[in-house]
Structure 1
Amino acid sequence: MSDQIILTTSSHLEGYRVTEHLDIVSAECVFGMNVFKDMFAGIRDIFGGRNKSSQNALRDARTSCLEELRKEAREKGANAVIGVDLDYSEISGGGKSMLFLVATGTAVKVEKV
Protein backbone atom coordinates (compact mmCIF):
# COMPACT_ATOMS: atom_id res chain seq x y z
CA MET A 1 0.00 0.00 0.00
CA SER A 2 1.29 3.51 -0.77
CA ASP A 3 1.74 6.35 1.69
CA GLN A 4 -1.70 7.60 0.67
CA ILE A 5 -4.30 7.48 3.44
CA ILE A 6 -7.47 5.72 2.24
CA LEU A 7 -10.71 7.52 3.14
CA THR A 8 -14.16 5.94 3.10
CA THR A 9 -17.60 6.75 4.44
CA SER A 10 -18.12 3.02 4.95
CA SER A 11 -17.30 1.15 8.17
CA HIS A 12 -15.04 -1.23 6.23
CA LEU A 13 -12.87 -1.38 3.12
CA GLU A 14 -13.51 -4.07 0.55
CA GLY A 15 -10.39 -6.22 0.18
CA TYR A 16 -8.83 -4.97 3.42
CA ARG A 17 -8.95 -6.06 7.04
CA VAL A 18 -8.87 -3.56 9.90
CA THR A 19 -6.00 -4.63 12.15
CA GLU A 20 -6.14 -1.76 14.63
CA HIS A 21 -8.52 1.07 15.57
CA LEU A 22 -6.34 4.02 16.56
CA ASP A 23 -8.46 7.06 17.35
CA ILE A 24 -11.19 9.38 16.19
CA VAL A 25 -9.74 12.05 13.91
CA SER A 26 -11.22 15.32 12.76
CA ALA A 27 -10.35 18.31 10.64
CA GLU A 28 -12.00 21.69 10.82
CA CYS A 29 -11.79 24.23 8.01
CA VAL A 30 -13.27 27.72 7.95
CA PHE A 31 -13.69 29.74 4.76
CA GLY A 32 -14.87 33.34 4.37
CA MET A 33 -18.31 33.55 2.79
CA ASN A 34 -17.53 36.85 1.08
CA VAL A 35 -16.01 34.68 -1.64
CA PHE A 36 -19.41 33.11 -2.20
CA LYS A 37 -21.21 36.48 -2.13
CA ASP A 38 -18.79 37.81 -4.75
CA MET A 39 -19.48 34.79 -6.91
CA PHE A 40 -23.23 35.24 -6.65
CA ALA A 41 -22.76 38.84 -7.82
CA GLY A 42 -21.52 37.43 -11.11
CA ILE A 43 -24.89 36.22 -12.37
CA ARG A 44 -23.26 35.18 -15.63
CA ASP A 45 -22.03 31.98 -13.89
CA ILE A 46 -25.54 30.83 -13.12
CA PHE A 47 -26.76 28.25 -15.61
CA GLY A 48 -29.78 26.08 -15.02
CA GLY A 49 -30.05 27.19 -11.39
CA ARG A 50 -26.47 26.14 -10.60
CA ASN A 51 -23.46 28.31 -9.92
CA LYS A 52 -20.30 26.61 -11.17
CA SER A 53 -18.00 28.98 -9.25
CA SER A 54 -19.74 28.21 -5.95
CA GLN A 55 -19.66 24.49 -6.65
CA ASN A 56 -15.93 24.69 -7.37
CA ALA A 57 -15.33 26.67 -4.16
CA LEU A 58 -17.25 24.06 -2.14
CA ARG A 59 -15.30 21.27 -3.86
CA ASP A 60 -12.02 23.02 -3.00
CA ALA A 61 -13.15 23.41 0.63
CA ARG A 62 -13.98 19.70 0.82
CA THR A 63 -10.65 18.73 -0.76
CA SER A 64 -8.72 20.91 1.70
CA CYS A 65 -10.58 19.54 4.70
CA LEU A 66 -10.11 15.92 3.63
CA GLU A 67 -6.39 16.53 3.14
CA GLU A 68 -6.25 17.87 6.72
CA LEU A 69 -8.04 14.70 7.86
CA ARG A 70 -5.41 12.60 6.08
CA LYS A 71 -2.63 14.53 7.86
CA GLU A 72 -4.29 13.95 11.23
CA ALA A 73 -4.62 10.22 10.51
CA ARG A 74 -1.01 9.97 9.31
CA GLU A 75 0.16 11.57 12.58
CA LYS A 76 -1.70 8.81 14.47
CA GLY A 77 0.06 6.13 12.41
CA ALA A 78 -3.03 5.18 10.39
CA ASN A 79 -3.16 4.15 6.75
CA ALA A 80 -6.94 4.57 6.44
CA VAL A 81 -9.89 6.48 7.88
CA ILE A 82 -13.26 4.75 7.98
CA GLY A 83 -16.70 6.19 8.71
CA VAL A 84 -15.80 9.60 7.26
CA ASP A 85 -18.51 12.21 7.76
CA LEU A 86 -18.61 15.77 6.38
CA ASP A 87 -20.68 18.48 8.04
CA TYR A 88 -21.14 21.93 6.51
CA SER A 89 -22.35 24.89 8.57
CA GLU A 90 -22.50 28.62 8.24
CA ILE A 91 -21.24 30.86 11.02
CA SER A 92 -22.47 34.44 10.93
CA GLY A 93 -22.48 37.44 13.18
CA GLY A 94 -21.23 40.99 13.27
CA GLY A 95 -21.87 41.37 9.55
CA LYS A 96 -19.53 38.50 8.71
CA SER A 97 -20.37 35.08 7.39
CA MET A 98 -18.13 32.03 7.16
CA LEU A 99 -18.45 28.47 5.89
CA PHE A 100 -17.41 25.92 8.51
CA LEU A 101 -16.61 22.39 7.34
CA VAL A 102 -15.81 19.51 9.70
CA ALA A 103 -14.58 16.10 8.56
CA THR A 104 -14.50 13.27 11.10
CA GLY A 105 -13.75 9.56 11.01
CA THR A 106 -11.96 6.68 12.71
CA ALA A 107 -8.23 6.33 12.05
CA VAL A 108 -7.32 2.68 11.51
CA LYS A 109 -4.57 0.42 10.28
CA VAL A 110 -5.62 -1.90 7.48
CA GLU A 111 -3.94 -4.65 5.50
CA LYS A 112 -4.89 -6.34 2.24
CA VAL A 113 -6.61 -9.70 2.61
Structure 2
Amino acid sequence: MIVTTTNNIEGKKVIDYKGIIFGEVISGVDVIKDIAAGLTNFFGGRSKSYEGELIQAREEALRELENRAAAIGANAVIGVDIDYEVLGQGGNMLMVTASGTAVVVE
Protein backbone atom coordinates (compact mmCIF):
# COMPACT_ATOMS: atom_id res chain seq x y z
CA MET A 1 0.00 0.00 0.00
CA ILE A 2 1.41 3.38 -1.03
CA VAL A 3 0.44 6.23 1.31
CA THR A 4 1.52 9.75 0.40
CA THR A 5 0.70 13.36 1.15
CA THR A 6 1.05 14.27 -2.53
CA ASN A 7 -1.82 14.14 -5.01
CA ASN A 8 0.02 11.85 -7.39
CA ILE A 9 2.64 9.14 -7.26
CA GLU A 10 5.64 9.57 -9.51
CA GLY A 11 5.75 6.86 -12.17
CA LYS A 12 2.24 5.63 -11.34
CA LYS A 13 -1.07 6.36 -13.04
CA VAL A 14 -4.30 6.60 -11.05
CA ILE A 15 -6.83 4.38 -12.83
CA ASP A 16 -9.68 4.47 -10.30
CA TYR A 17 -10.77 6.75 -7.47
CA LYS A 18 -12.45 4.85 -4.63
CA GLY A 19 -13.32 7.83 -2.44
CA ILE A 20 -12.30 9.77 0.64
CA ILE A 21 -11.35 7.64 3.61
CA PHE A 22 -10.45 8.25 7.24
CA GLY A 23 -8.54 6.61 10.03
CA GLU A 24 -9.35 7.89 13.52
CA VAL A 25 -7.85 7.18 16.91
CA ILE A 26 -8.84 8.64 20.26
CA SER A 27 -6.24 7.90 22.88
CA GLY A 28 -6.34 8.63 26.58
CA VAL A 29 -3.20 9.62 28.46
CA ASP A 30 -2.86 7.66 31.69
CA VAL A 31 -2.17 9.24 35.08
CA ILE A 32 1.53 8.23 35.19
CA LYS A 33 2.22 9.83 31.81
CA ASP A 34 0.25 12.90 32.89
CA ILE A 35 2.34 13.28 36.06
CA ALA A 36 5.60 12.81 34.13
CA ALA A 37 4.51 15.40 31.57
CA GLY A 38 3.56 17.78 34.37
CA LEU A 39 7.06 17.50 35.84
CA THR A 40 8.58 18.10 32.41
CA ASN A 41 6.36 21.15 32.03
CA PHE A 42 7.53 22.46 35.41
CA PHE A 43 11.25 21.80 34.91
CA GLY A 44 11.38 22.22 31.13
CA GLY A 45 12.41 19.87 28.34
CA ARG A 46 10.66 17.40 26.08
CA SER A 47 7.90 15.11 27.25
CA LYS A 48 8.89 11.62 26.09
CA SER A 49 5.68 10.15 27.49
CA TYR A 50 3.43 12.47 25.47
CA GLU A 51 5.63 12.16 22.39
CA GLY A 52 5.35 8.38 22.57
CA GLU A 53 1.58 8.59 22.88
CA LEU A 54 1.39 10.93 19.90
CA ILE A 55 3.59 8.70 17.72
CA GLN A 56 1.58 5.59 18.60
CA ALA A 57 -1.77 7.31 17.90
CA ARG A 58 -0.53 8.64 14.54
CA GLU A 59 0.77 5.20 13.48
CA GLU A 60 -2.54 3.58 14.46
CA ALA A 61 -4.55 6.20 12.51
CA LEU A 62 -2.42 5.60 9.40
CA ARG A 63 -2.75 1.82 9.80
CA GLU A 64 -6.53 2.19 10.05
CA LEU A 65 -6.50 4.41 6.94
CA GLU A 66 -4.58 1.72 5.02
CA ASN A 67 -6.92 -1.05 6.20
CA ARG A 68 -10.00 0.90 5.13
CA ALA A 69 -8.44 1.65 1.73
CA ALA A 70 -7.62 -2.02 1.18
CA ALA A 71 -11.15 -3.03 2.22
CA ILE A 72 -12.61 -1.03 -0.67
CA GLY A 73 -10.10 -2.31 -3.23
CA ALA A 74 -7.55 0.52 -3.25
CA ASN A 75 -3.81 -0.06 -3.44
CA ALA A 76 -2.79 3.52 -2.57
CA VAL A 77 -3.94 6.56 -0.63
CA ILE A 78 -3.04 10.02 -1.94
CA GLY A 79 -3.41 13.51 -0.50
CA VAL A 80 -3.06 12.27 3.07
CA ASP A 81 -3.60 14.84 5.82
CA ILE A 82 -3.16 14.22 9.53
CA ASP A 83 -4.98 16.31 12.14
CA TYR A 84 -4.53 16.38 15.91
CA GLU A 85 -7.04 17.52 18.53
CA VAL A 86 -7.02 17.53 22.32
CA LEU A 87 -10.26 16.31 23.87
CA GLY A 88 -11.70 15.65 27.29
CA GLN A 89 -12.41 17.77 30.31
CA GLY A 90 -8.78 17.98 31.39
CA GLY A 91 -7.38 17.88 27.87
CA ASN A 92 -6.10 14.38 28.59
CA MET A 93 -7.38 12.69 25.44
CA LEU A 94 -5.80 12.93 22.03
CA MET A 95 -7.63 12.47 18.74
CA VAL A 96 -5.61 11.81 15.60
CA THR A 97 -7.39 11.72 12.25
CA ALA A 98 -5.74 10.68 9.00
CA SER A 99 -7.68 11.33 5.80
CA GLY A 100 -6.98 10.92 2.12
CA THR A 101 -8.28 9.65 -1.20
CA ALA A 102 -8.24 5.90 -1.77
CA VAL A 103 -7.16 5.08 -5.33
CA VAL A 104 -6.06 2.25 -7.57
CA VAL A 105 -2.78 2.84 -9.36
CA GLU A 106 -1.09 0.84 -12.13
- The normalised TM-score by structure 1 is 0.80
* Alpha-carbon spacing, 1:102–1:53, altered in 2? closer, same or farther (3 Å): same
1 CA distance for matches of 2:36 and 2:6?
A: 34
Query: Which of 89, 98, 106 is equivalent to 2:93?
Result: 98
Is residue 2:73 matched to residue 1:77? yes
Q: CA RMSD in A?
A: 2.0
Q: Is the Cα contact below 8 Å between 1:23 and 1:76 reproduced in 2?
A: no
Unaligned runs of 5+ in 2: none
2 CA distance for matches of 1:107 and 1:62?
A: 18
2 CA distance for matches of 1:96 and 1:84?
A: 26
- The normalised TM-score by structure 2 is 0.85
Task: Please name the residue that 1:40 is paired with.
Answer: 37
Question: Which has the larger share of strand?
Answer: 1
Task: Please name the residue that 1:64 is paired with.
Answer: 60
Q: Which amino acid aligns with 1:72?
A: R
Q: Which amino acid aligns with 2:95?
A: F
1 CA distance for matches of 2:34 and 2:95?
A: 15
* Alpha-carbon spacing, 1:39–1:69, altered in 2? closer, same or farther (3 Å): farther
After TM superposition, the structure 1 = structure 2 runs for residues 8-19 of structure 1, keeping only pairs within 5 Å, are 8-19=4-15
The runs of at least 4 aligned residues of structure 1 exceeding 3 Å deviation read none
Report the number of matched residues: 103
Q: Is the Cα contact below 8 Å between 2:77 and 2:103 reproduced in 1?
A: yes
